Amino acid sequence: MDRRPDDLEPARAGQSDGPALAALVHRLTLAPPDLFEPFVSASALVADVAVSLDGTVLDRPTLRALDADLQAPADRASRRALVGLVCWLVVDPAVHGTPGVRAAAAGAGGLSGWFLRVVEGVQRVLAGQRPEREWVQADDAREELARAFCRLGGVLPAGERAETADDRWLAVSSAYQRKVVQAMAVEAARAEELAKALAEQRAKEAAAQYANY
């Protein structure tokens, strides 16, 4: 079975350490409930965070593209919540001030460019995978979002090797685990069909043998 449940790039050896996974997970438990309310404008929040990170004022094409993503007919509430949670993670100086994040941001044209890449990616990878509030209420969901955040940001959770980060991502990825369940169901159906075919063949052989007596 394909070990790539989505279009996330695999972690690479040599990637810089980002924030500690435990710190990201803990911060998600502290996320303001307002982030899940429909009156909160996720695009305005993104624009404010970009300014706070490095003074970048998002231009109209960028804002229009962001609004188009957030207003997609499918999983609209999920997209809004995920983007709000990414904003919540990024504004923490312990996150955006990490040397690994700074290095990754340098390759993305600055902190705001790096941040926008994560904002776009989290919608593509996680939107619709879980109920919105589960991302802060369930242990495995918080870890999934924290690991997706690191992968989309091009950093490793602090202290992890690339191979370890890959394996642990697959262990919590909703998309990958769904593929595992689907593959198991397909294999079970094939096994059942084979058993049925073998039983029918044995019955035919027995009938033919009986007819020869």
Of the candidates 114, 95, 122, the residue with the CA atom closest to the CA atom of residue 24: 95
Length of the chain: 213
pLDDT exceeds cutoff 60 at 185: no
Q: Which of 37, 147, 17, 28 is nearest to 88 (CA)?
A: 28
Structure tokens at 85: 């949670």
- Confidence (pLDDT) at 49: 98
3-state secondary structure of 156: strand
Rounded Cα distance, 192 and 174, in Å: 27
Tens digit of each residue's pLDDT (9 = 90 or more) over 90-119:
999 999 999 999 999 999 999 999 999 999
What is the chain's Cα-based Rg?
A: 23
For the segment 195-207, what is each residue's pLDDT rounded down to a tens digit? Answer: 777 777 777 777 7
Q: What is the DSSP string of 7-70?
A: SPPPP-TTPPB-S-HHHHHHHHHT--GGGGSTTS-HHHHHHHHHHHHH-----HHHHHHHHHHH
Q: Check residue 193 and give its pLDDT.
A: 73
Task: For 140-158, write each residue's pLDDT tens digit.
Answer: 999 999 999 999 999 999 9
Is residue 208 very low, low, confident or very high in pLDDT (cuts 50, 70, 90)? confident
Nearest to 142 by CA among 114, 167, 112, 174: 174
pLDDT of residue 1: 46
Amino acid at site 18: G
**Residue 133, phi-psi category: left (phi > 0), alpha (psi -120 to 50), beta (remainder):** alpha
Q: What is the mean pLDDT of residues 208-212?
A: 71
Query: How far, in Å, are 43, 92, 123, 175 from residue 65 at the CA level?
Result: 10, 25, 13, 25
- Specify whether the CB–CB gap between 57 and 195 falls below 8 A: no
More confident call, 69 vs 193: 69
pLDDT tens-digit series, residues 4-57: 545 566 666 668 899 999 999 999 999 999 999 999 999 999 999 999 999 999
pLDDT at 127: 95
Please say whether the dihedral angle defined by the alpha carbons of residues 75, 8, 138 and 35, taken in this order, is positive or negative.
negative
Confidence of residue 87 (pLDDT cuts 50, 70, 90): very high
Q: Which two tokens stand for residue 34?
A: 């307002």
